[in-house]
Structure 1
Amino acid sequence: MSFAQSEANYDETKVPKFTLPDALVTFSGNNISDHVQWEADRRFEIFQFFERQVYGKVPGRLDEYSFKLIEESNDAYGGKARRKQVAISLKKNKKSITYNMLIYLPKGNPTAPVFLGYNFYGNHTVTSDPKVPLTKAWVPNNESFGIKDNKATEGSRGVRQHRWAIEKMLDNGFGLATIYYGEVDPDKNDFSDGVHELFYTEDQTKPKTNEWGSIAGWAFGLSKAMDYLENDGNISNVVVFGHSRLGKAALWAGATDKRFAGVISNNSGCGGAALSKRKFGETVGKINTAFPHWFADSFLKYNDNEKTLPVDQHQLLALIAPRPLYVASAFDDRWADPKGEFLSAHYASMVYELYEKEGIATEQIPEVNQPLQHTVAYHVRTGKHDVTDYDWEQYITWAKAFIQ
């Protein structure tokens, strides 16, 4: 446990008293009574606040982007899957980056829904498939994975396959599309070697105060991947998924891009699904100090000042309505505040009700390993900060019921 985690509040009696901003009352005090008003008035102003004051605004449009199918096979996973590997290239101001998407699709159906999510160490780490090349991008060092000098090695192949349940997906008619997030923007406080740098004006070295941090950069990369996936004739719907910091990115991607058919947040915590005003576990001040590149610099004014935030994360979740949303926690992951994640899903549900979609009606967090599955779904499982087969079993069951 880090020093920051050991100093965090884990005592419910020390959660400060706060008033949660009402998702159905505008900043000027007008009540929202139907989904037409929500879309026209409230959704826009909430989205604009998160875009300018929390995650940061994308400062323009690409000059060009393109896709190249670099490898495919009809004989992956013992013949049960098709594999595609696609290079996505983004160009702006005569500069470019390229990142690679690995896709597995179940054979037997002409089209299939897919889960799209970033991985933490390279596409080669989610599978033991030898046809998936090692990433050439900067990778965080990890002694247990045999990664040093920030370079992927053959020894790291398959080290994270336990997080992806690929065969479970395939057996249930789902595919997977995954991207190493460091190929879009390396996860370090350095804006010189990822997607942000494409948009710089002369002599600029980092985004402006209200421009995008890394979370918004990763969300942008997911949307560009969606540009490919929606035109792949073998894919029907796309559910965007993310764990931890990448759960934050998945939520923001779902909020900014309505083409995603559903959104899954796994242990996303502060700046993701958890309510900021609870100040339980990780807080705005702690996250902005430890990871200053994740959010817009305009978010810094709320360090240890959550009470002045005119929004909270339940309103981020509400931006995804009426599309299906799954928020998941882990009992031992108090840093991510399971109760705060649950309450956020509960309070977002009032917006889903405007669309006659069922959310989380109760304010009582469910027992461990007792999922609540509606258009808005939630579970807290036993265990720690991770992605497990149990999580994927719930996501697959829910997606079968709610992703059209």
Structure 2
Amino acid sequence: MTRMILAGVYAAMMGMAGAGTALPDPLTALDGTKIGNPAQWREKRRPELLELLTKQMYGRSPARPEKMKIEVFDRDPHALGDKATRIQMALYPNGDPKGPRMDLLVYVPNQAKGPVPAILALNFWGNQAIHTDPGIRITESWVEEKTSYVNLSAVKDHRALEGSRGINAKQWPVERILERGYALATMYREDIAPDHEPYFASGAQSLYPELQQGDDNFGTIAAWAWGLSRAMDALEKEPAIDAKRVGVLGWSRLGKAALWAGANDERFAAVYSHESGAGGAKLFHRGVGENIERLNRVFPHWFARSFRQYVGKDTELPFDQHLVMALVAPRPLYVASAIEDKNADPEGEFAGAKAAEPVFKLLGAGGLPAETWPAVGQPVLDGIIGYHVRPGGHDLTDHDWEQYLAFSDRQLKAR
């Protein structure tokens, strides 16, 4: 009976998916076996989906590095006017201080009585960009120059200057997050892997040249996801953080990485996809918004070379992004869109989350309590899968953070 109900729910999703071949059923194994109980999902379907997506899209990532060194180089209990304890850690994946270094910035609310839940997210312009706090170490990694967020006082010759402090603070309501009882942790994407040419010559990927040899090479989205797991390694060692209640969040390309990190690393207690679009939450099968051709042409380093075989075949894929989100189950998942963010196909992001629902229900977690795409400004917060679409375009706003915090109050803080 349960299997029949789930099949009905999934069949209803076919219409929402849009053009092209039918979406692959998350509860039908590659050999045709129907997945009807949690054990079958755990032992058969989940492992084969991880392997399929690794081989055909994201590329193969290395295991946790045995020699990784974590150095706490700053702990200030009087940060942000005594509101927070600022903790900064340097992560050396190969244990060598001369090798790649990833700086992890953590703010912990001082009003907390014990270990607190945390939200972990990568940032776009360096840790110092999220706040004007003069104690944040300025990134030494490459930084974009041609963007509305920076100017001559912020970046020179692709290096961040003092003027870069707080240039992206509008997307990071640090004090508000702390007031709600959450720690905030962040790392700079370029500390982990370069988003510019030469794509694989530095950062974590340079430590694993053997993983660049095949068609399932270690792509940059996968590298960022791997870096998020290394940050989780560090947070597990920090007594002020409740490591059982750490959610991973990402915006845009970093939302793609957050989803893949959450799919692979079940230590993340919740996953938040913010306007992650193509290669994130949206369904390729709809044939709407950014497509596989553009992803591989403009960002050839993001995914494995094997993904290029699907250029022009968006609506015929043997997989799609609902399967990535299904791998998050039964943990909380939140997907958010912006109505003017056409490349990300907002309705397709909702459809992707909804198409993952049968797995969440099979595992007894519930689902996304909305049968049709919600109206703009009407968040759905009362299910294990949450969703909202807000007015405006591609951005991370206070409205978005308010929904994430409300969802977290239900799914992280309440645990």
TM-score exceeds 0.5: yes
Alignment correspondent of 1:140: 144
Q: CA deviation at 1:77?
A: 1.6
> Partners of 1:103 and 1:207 in 2: how far apart?
36
1:143-162 aligned within 5 A: 144=148, 145-146=150-151, 147-162=155-170
- Say whether residues 1:58 and 2:61 are aligned partners: yes
The one of 106, 128, 135 aligned to 1:131 = 135
Aligned counterparts of 1:368 and 1:143: Cα–Cα separation in 2: 28
- How far the C-alpha of 1:153 sits from its partner, in A, is 1.5
Cα distance in 1, alignment partners of residues 280 and 286 from structure 2:
13
In the alignment, structure 1 residue 49 sits paired with structure 2 residue 52: yes
Aligned-pair distance for 1:363? 3.7
Does 2:32 match 1:29?
yes
State whether structure 2 residue 82 is matched by structure 1 residue 73. no
Matched, 1:263 2:271: yes
Deviation at 1:309, TM superposition (A): 1.8
Aligned partner letter, 1:96: G
CA shift, 1:207, in A, is 4.5
| Paired letter, 1:232 | E
Deviations 1:105-124 (A, max 9, x none): 11122211111000000000
Instruction: Tell me which residue corresponds to 1:5.
Output: none
Is the aligned partner of 1:98 residue 2:101? yes
Residue 388 of structure 1 and its aligned partner are, at CA, apart by: 0.5
2:360 is matched with: 352
Of 276, 288, 291, the residue aligned with 2:284 is: 276
Displacement of 1:43: 1.1
Instruction: Say how many residue pairs are matched.
Output: 390
Q: Does the 8 A contact of 1:349 with 1:361 survive in 2?
A: no
How many angstroms does 1:354 deviate by? 1.1
Aligned to 2:224: 218
Question: Hey, which bits of structure 1, 4+ residues long, moved more than 2 A?
Answer: 15-18, 59-63, 92-96
The amino acid of 2:377's aligned partner reads N
Distance in 1 (alpha carbons) for counterparts of 2:352 and 2:147: 36
The 2-side partners of 1:37 and 1:240 are apart by: 27
Q: Conserved in 1, the CA contact under 8 Å of 2:367 and 2:384?
A: yes
1:319 aligns with: 327
SS in 1 for 2:119: strand
| Residues 61-94 of structure 1 deviation map (CA, whole Å, 9 limit, x = unaligned) | 6351010111111111211111000000111899
Give the C-alpha shift of residue 395 in structure 1: 0.5
Aligned twin of 1:396: 405
Where in structure 2 are the equivalents of 1:192-231 lying within 5 Å?
192-201=201-210, 206-231=212-237
- 1:273 to partner: Cα distance: 0.5
Identity of aligned residues (%): 42
Matched, 1:171 2:175: no
SS in 2 for 1:372: coil
SS in structure 2 of the partner of residue 97 of structure 1: coil
**SS, match of residue 326 in structure 1:** strand
CA contact (8 A) 1:51 1:57 kept: yes
RMSD of aligned C-alpha atoms? 2.0
Shift in Å at residue 96 of structure 1? 2.7
- The alignment status of 1:241 with 2:267, answered yes or no, reads no
Q: Compared with structure 1, are the counterparts of its residues 94 and 61 closer, same or farther at alpha carbon in structure 2 (3 Å cutoff)?
A: farther
Q: What residue is the counterpart of 1:84 in the other structure?
A: 87
The CA distance in 2 between the partners of 1:292 and 1:143, in whole Å, is 21
Unaligned runs of 5+ in 1: 1-11
Distance of 1:367 and 1:100 partners within structure 2: 40
Query: For 1:94 and 1:128, how far apart are their aligned partners in 2?
Result: 27
Which region of structure 1 is more displaced relative to structure 2, 266-275 or 160-169? 160-169
1:276-300 superposed Cα distances (whole Å, 9 cap, x missing partner): 1112110111111110000000111
1:306 shift after superposition: 2.2
- The normalised TM-score by structure 1 is 0.93
Normalising to structure 2: TM-score of the pair? 0.90
Indicate conservation of the 8 Å contact 2:286/2:315, yes or no. Answer: no
Deviations 1:365-398 (CA, angstroms, capped at 9, x unpaired): 0001111111100000111101001111111111
1:116 aligns with 2:120: yes
Counterpart code for 1:265 = S
- Cα distance, 1:59 vs structure 2: 4.5
How far apart, in 2, do the equivalents of 1:361 and 1:397 lie?
Answer: 16
Q: Which amino acid aligns with 1:37?
A: Q
Q: 1:152 to 1:284 in 2, by over 3 A?
A: same
**Which of 336, 339, 343 in structure 2 is aligned with 1:328?**
336
- Paired with 1:118 and 1:152, the residues of 2 have a C-alpha distance of 17
- The separation in 2 between residues aligned to 1:134 and 1:402, in whole angstroms, is 33
Read off the aligned partner of 1:141 and give its amino acid letter: E
Change (3 A) 1:67 1:94: closer
